[in-house]
Structures are given as C-alpha cells and as structure tokens.
Structure 1
Amino acid sequence: MKFSFRALLSGVAFLIVLQACKQNAGKKTELDGFMSGTAVFGADESFSPIIDEELYIFKAAFPDANPVLQYKAEADVVNDLMNDKYRVAILPRTLDTTELGILKRRSLTADTIRFAIDAIALIVNQASNDTLISVNEIKSMLNGRSKTDKNIVFDNPNSSLVRYLKTLSGNNGLKQKNIYALSSSKEVIKYVSTHPNSIGITGFSWLNDPDKDYADAVDKVKIVGVRNEDSKTAPNQYFKPSQETLVQHTYPLSRALYIIDCTGRKGLGAGFASFLASERGQRIILKSGLLPDSIPPREINIIH
C-alpha cells in the first residue's frame, strides 16, 4: 500500500474545517438588547443635528448601548431598509403600501413612532429685501412660472426635502435653469450667505444652534415669512417657523419625523425609539427649537 501525502493533507484540512464548524456552531449570535449592544440604524441626513443630540444623551445615559447611525439621503435610507442592510430607520415619512408589502413578504412589520415635527425654512441673504412669500408663489417658483431672477438652491436630489418640494409643487422634475441641488444643507446655507441673489430651502433644524463650521453663514442669512392663501384662519398673514407657529398650525411648511423599527423584537431599535418618545427625549427636541410630538410639562417649584 502506497502512502499518499496529498491524501494526508486533505485529511488534515478536513479535520481543521470540521473543528472550526463545531466551534462556530457552539457560538450564539449576540443580539442587541433594549438598552445594550450594538446595532446599525439608517437615518435621513437632513436631521443629523437633532439626531446627534439625542444620540449623545442616549449613550451617556446607557453606556452599554451603541447605536451606529448611517446618515444618507432619504431615498438611500429607504432602499437600504428594503434590502435588509439594517432594520431601523429614521425618516420624515412613514413607509408606503409597496414598502410595507416588501417587509410583509419577509415576515416583518414596521413599528412606527412619530417623535418630532420640523419646518421647511426659506432663507435669503441678509442683504436681500425679500422677506415675505406665499405658498402659491413658492409653487410658481418651483414650476418655472415665476419671473424671478433668483437662484433657488436646496440639498441633494435624493433628499426628503426634494421629495417634499416635488409633492408641494406637483412638479416631479424641478429642472428649471435657476433651480440647483447642492450637496448638503450646510452648503445651502453657505451658498445663500455669500449670494444675495438666491433663495435657499432647508430644514429648520439646521438653523438652530449651528455647529462652528457653518455658524458664521447662519448669521448672514434670514428666514422668510410664508403666507398660506388657503388657510381658513389666517389667509392674509405671514408666519415664520417656530415652535409656536408649528403647534398652532399657522406655518404651512412642516413635516413629521419618525423612527421605524422593523426588527420585530425589543432590541436597541425599540430602546432608542422609547427614549425619543420619553419625556427626556422630547425635552431635547423642545430645546432644539423643533416641535416635540408631545410637549413635556413644565415643572414649577413654589417656595413658601
């Protein structure tokens, strides 16, 4: 009988693979807990200022919890959610029937919690004399029917803001020669701060307590008052975005913010959602200048 060195190597390799399989089989996949572990979430980059604030306090309160946020344009966040790259997303809309159907085919449901309301703000350069605009004028401007010579700028083409503007105007293209998509909300604010002949459209959350890298630009722009001609209560009045005008529904350009948990269990997604909806999480929203979904009660200490 001849000794086969190749056969010996094959046998050793087989034993090594077999042992590795046994070791892996003995290991259990560590799942994230309600307030512990690591999990990846997708989030609309339009809301990174307020989400980062919430995340900072959440991690400080629960050191064992490690949500990892991937900020992307809304369309990309939804696409990744549908392709199972993560199962928790923070978006300014709920999932539609088609998207819910995709989840259902994977035996998943979407637990959705609304936790804040943001405003769409129109900004102009401090040197501009334009301080008032109506909703119908905005629509005309986006549809190219307005004779304005101003450049209209907003963040990237796949953002939730662009989807909002398309729905508002009924224009799925927004391809007029004076309408430009930049790369981010910061770039919109910086552009308007240096171009007097421009109008920027951005989320209100970017104008409150800005980071140092664009705070100077915020100081060089001003917010335009908006009138809603179809309003039943104040069709002739102009309003600027604020917590007061959002809660009274007098400012016409607003959108809700949701956390959508498709994990089907009480993991870190449910834990973070619970924190956002809690009194502490809602106070962070209130302090940021956005409107919390439920306004926390004020505590008044009376000293006798």
Structure 2
Amino acid sequence: MKTKFLFALILLSVFFSCEKGAKLTKDSKETVVTGTTTILVDETIFPIVEDVVAVFENEYKNARIKLISKPEGEIISLLKEDKAKIAILPRNLNDEELDYYTKKKIIPRITEFAEDAVVFITNKENNLPSLNKDDLASKLKGKSSVLNQRIVFENPNSSIINFVKNEFNLDQLDSNLVYSMNNSKELIKFIADNKDAVGVIGVNWLLQPSVDIEREVQNVKIIGFTSSLQNGNQNVVFPNQSNIADHSYPWTRKLYLLNFQGANGLGMGFASYIAGENGQRIILKSGLSPKKVPSREINVKGSIE
C-alpha cells in the first residue's frame, strides 16, 4: 500500500513539474542572453559574424541566433519595411536613412565593433604585380587604363560596389568592363579558374574560407596597392592586420551592428558581446582589426626555476 501511495506521489510530482516547465517555456521571454532572434548579415563579412555567434551560443546555451546572409541593398530594404530588427553592415546609416528613422520616431542602437578590408584578388598565375588607385579609377570610369583585366564583383547589390563607387565619387560603373557574380563563393571560384580577371571581395572570406572553397582560395592571391613614400619611392601595401588598423592600406571599412528592437533583447546582448572582451578577441584572431584591442594577461613568476 505504501508502495502504491509513494508511486502516486511521484507521478503527481512529475506531472506538476512538467506542467510548470511547459508554462515556463511558453511564458519565457527573450532577454539579452536567452531566447531566439534573427540577424541579417552583409554577405561580404559573413564568416566573422558566424564565428562570433558560434562562440556566443556555446557560452549562453539558451540563446539561439539565426544568421541570414544578404547583400547590403536587400538588408536596408528589409529594415525599412520593418521585416527585420537586427542587421550587421560594413557601414553606418547615412544621413538620409537616419532621417527616415527619426521621422518614424525610431532610434536604432548602433554598435561599431571592427574594421575590415576590401581586397582585390587575381589568379595565382596572373603576373599583375600591384594596383594603384589612378589606374583602377580610369578602368572603372571606362577610360583608357593600363589595367586590362576584367573587374568582377560578387553581387550587383553588393556593399563593396557601393563602397568603391563612393571612394571614386562615381554614380555608376562601366557595365562593359565591370561584371558581377551571385555571391562571394562564386566570385572566388571564378577567379580561381580565370587568369584574366580581378575580383573585389571582403578580406574575411580569404582569411576564414568555408570548407567548400578552401581549394579555390589556395589558387588566388591578393594584389597589393602602391603608395608613395616621402623619398619619392613606391611602396606596395597589403591588407594585413596592422595595415588595416592604421589605415595604411587604403581600402578599409568599419563594421556595425544595427539594432532596431527597441528593447533589451538578444540583439542588445549580442551587440555587447561582439564589442566586448570575448568578441574582440575572436575578431583579433580572425585577422581583422577589432574596435578595441583586448587586454593581455601576463603571469609573472616569483622566481626563476
């Protein structure tokens, strides 16, 4: 009899525990470290964001972030249509965009967290030694240029196209000389298979290539840019971490997380993480330039062994 009574108590306990657990799951709300959310990411910087999210979710087991890779133009449109609340872009909002949200009484929380580089790549067998801005500008404007290679971008709506146009104050690029693929992976594969083209891409795709394009990345090389020294000589600058940080490499971009949630949700938590100590360490290890250089701990021994 006692055994049956005890068994009944256990069943009741399990029942109420399950009911309570179900209620907690149903009523639980998104916080800065729990819940689920979606973040739109500019495709040119997707690898670094994917890395940070993987570590973030590993540290905060009840947080789930879905990343969607899209071109910059599509992301801005989705934000304006209120179909997305969080985005990561390689630029800040411009005055027109900020004014749009101000009129709607929306104040986005904007977090700068890193700086990357736009790089120019070619096939390893291409003997192009370096580039300079004047030759590249002439090529993009459709004027005579010593640069006879095709210029290829990864997407017609790419943030990199807008970046290059702004750099040279161009309203449009010469469509007879400039081409585009569908995404960053296609661009890398195209350059790996063609010796007469120059691709324009975010450096992060070369520093952290996905498994399916590792072979192709091995068959491309980054082209340096010439810069004039004080003594009149020419120096070729490549997009390594220090040159990105001090801007001696001429094609750098700041990276931002834009949060339109209007509440302290998971977007705010991830923004704090990617701009904080752990997130900045991940960015530093990736080869990009973090907004803040993480501190280093030095252990000093009391005596020499």
TM-score (norm 2): 0.85
Q: Which residue in the other structure is 2:201 paired with?
A: 202
Instruction: Quote how far apart the aligned CAs of 1:105 are.
Output: 3.3
Task: State the shift of 1:207 in Å.
Answer: 0.5
| Matched residue, 1:105 | 103
Aligned equivalent of 2:35, options 27, 37, 56: 37
SS of equivalent residue, structure 1 residue 116: strand
Query: Could you tell me how far 1:67 is from its partner in structure 2?
Result: 1.9
Deviation at 1:181, TM superposition (A): 0.6
Q: Distance in 2 between matches of 1:103 and 1:228?
A: 40
- What's the CA shift for 1:289? 0.7
1:294 is matched with which residue?
A: 292
| 1:232–1:44 distance in 2 versus 1, CA, 3 Å | farther
CA RMSD of aligned residues (A): 2.0
Structure 1 residues 31 and 77: alpha-carbon distance in aligned structure 2, compared to 1, 3 A threshold: farther
Once the two structures are superposed, the pairs formed by residues 144-223 of structure 1 within 5 Å of their partners are 144-145=142-143, 146-223=145-222
SS class of match (1:46): helix
Equivalent of 2:271 in 255, 273, 279: 273
Secondary structure of 1:180's aligned partner = strand
Q: Deviations over 1:41-64 (max 9, x none)?
A: 221111110010011001111111
Q: Deviations over 1:244-299 (max 9, x none)?
A: 11122210001010001122221111100000011100010011111111111222
Q: Quick check: 231-240 or 285-294, which moved more? A: 231-240
**Runs of 5+ in structure 1 lacking a partner?**
1-27
Q: How does 1:135-146 map to 2 (within 5 A)?
A: 135-145=133-143, 146=145
Q: Percent identity?
A: 34
> Which residue of 259, 262, 268 maps to 2:260?
262
Write the mapping of 1:77-156 to structure 2, written as runs, cut at 5 A: 77-145=75-143, 146-156=145-155
User: In the superposition, relative to structure 1, how do residues 79 and 60 fare at CA in structure 2: closer, same or farther (>3 Å)?
Assistant: same
Task: Provide Cα deviations, 1:81-137, integer angstroms capped at 9, x if missing partner.
Answer: 111112211111111222223323332201111101010111111111112111222
Q: 2-side partners of 1:210 and 1:257: how far apart?
A: 19
Structure 2 distance, partners of 1:184, 1:234, is 40
CA distance in 2, matches of 1:149, 1:48: 31
Q: In structure 1, the residue corresponding to 2:76 is in which secondary structure?
A: helix
108-117 vs 232-241, greater mean Cα deviation: 232-241
Give yes or no for contact 2:120–2:222 (8 Å, CA) kept in 1: yes
Change (3 A) 1:58 1:237: same
8 Å CA contact retained: 2:115, 2:245:
no
With normalisation by structure 1, the TM-score equals 0.85
Compared CA separation, residues 235 and 168, structure 1 to 2 (3 A): farther
- Between the aligned partners of 2:208 and 2:96, the Cα distance in structure 1 is 38
